[in-house]
Amino acid sequence: MLLVGLEGWQRWSISGGLLVAAVAAALIIHYLLFRFLTRVSKGISVLPEGVLTKHFGGPARWIMICVAVRLELPFLGASERLANTIAHILSLLLIAMISWLLIKATYVLQDCVVSRFSIEEEDNLRARKIYTQLNVLKRITIVVVSVLALGMMLMTFPRVRQLGTTILASAGIIGIIIGMASQRTIGTFIAGLQIAFTQPIRVDDVVIVENEWGRIEEITLTYVVVKIWDLRRLIVPITYFIEKPFQNWTRTTADILGTVFIYVDYTVPVEVIREELSRLLKNSELWDGKVCVLQVTNASERTVELRALVSASDASKAWSLRCQVREKLIDFIRKNYPDALPKLRAEFHQLKDR
């Protein structure tokens, strides 16, 4: 009895030693492989330093360990039932780890794009296009890979396979029911694809949505986050940008015109105000040097309406420039032509005594 116990202990000790050796060998191969990849990636300009190790290191390590244990399994001397159970668990882990690796590939692509295209630059139209497509496609990839991985894992169970065969036999009826129930979900998914490829909006676009001015902060498969100027967030269904009209101030370029209205008396010297506007814009860092116009656009019984039309490189600068021009022109008129400020005229006639 003691001899049998010693033999069993010796067998399990050898098996454990083989298992530890296999795992150690897998870890050594993983270390050497990624050290080699890190060295090679330094010569590739599109790959940021350490990006492969950062994203692929974790899943690749577990894949190698699973493969090493699976190859060592026949030599462990386990019973057939235990060996089959362990092999099944390893298969599930391999599917999960490979799916993790595929998802991480989208993060590698994202880091490569971020390193080449900066969204912080002033002329960032191309970067915003790529960011928008990449964000939507990354989420689609995660959903598709996760669903496929879950399906493959479930199909490794014999009972689920039998159930799958039964379900496929009645796929027509089930498909109709699912299609009717998930019609809106499918519509949202298709809207996400439309946003990614046609790009009516992009990340960091300036938009007017529901009478709110803001920037596109995030685009997901189901909703869009708009960062409003006062730091509130407006959450809008992604189908909104397919079905309803909205304003996009940076669709092709960020350049924009701004208007300033000033109401003055009929005695105002318009040409002098026009010269002052030109001087103000030339001394302003907010002006892009393209448009400088002052026109009389209306006249009422009391005042004359002056419209200053100015240009800036983006909406934020245009807003600040409008405020600056309005303030400086009013101050200029107040100091130099106070009689040209709006006034109420009245005539008094003295009645003669009868």
Mean pLDDT of 226-243: 89
Q: What is the CATH number of domain 121-252?
A: 2.30.30.60
Where are the domains positioned within the chain?
1-116, 121-252, 256-340
Q: What percentage of the chain has pLDDT greater than the value 90?
A: 20
Query: Poorest-confidence range of 38-47, 118-127, 166-175, 179-188?
Result: 166-175
Name the residue with higher pLDDT: 2 or 50.
Answer: 50
Instruction: Show contacts of 322-325: CB within 8 Å, 24+ apart.
Output: 322/258, 322/259, 322/260, 324/280, 324/284, 324/286, 325/260, 325/277, 325/280, 325/281
The answer on pLDDT for 169 being more than 90 is no
**Cα–Cα dist 218/139, whole Å:** 12
Query: Poorest-confidence range of 189-193, 248-252, 293-297?
Result: 189-193
Query: Poorest-confidence range of 248-252, 327-331, 345-349?
Result: 345-349
Q: For the domain made up of 256-340, give the CATH fold.
A: Alpha-Beta Plaits (3.30.70)
Give the pLDDT of residue 324.
94
DSSP 8-state code for residue 298: E
Mean pLDDT of the chain: 78
- Edge-to-edge strands, sheet with 247-248: 233-237, 223-228, 212-219, 206-209, 247-248
Structure tokens belonging to residue 141: 């990839």
Query: Poorest-confidence range of 5-14, 102-111, 254-263?
Result: 5-14
Mean pLDDT of 171-181: 52
Q: Quick one: pLDDT band at residue 147, thresholds 50, 70, 90?
A: confident
Mean pLDDT of 41-57: 72
Torsion of CA 19, 22, 28, 31, to 10 degrees: -90
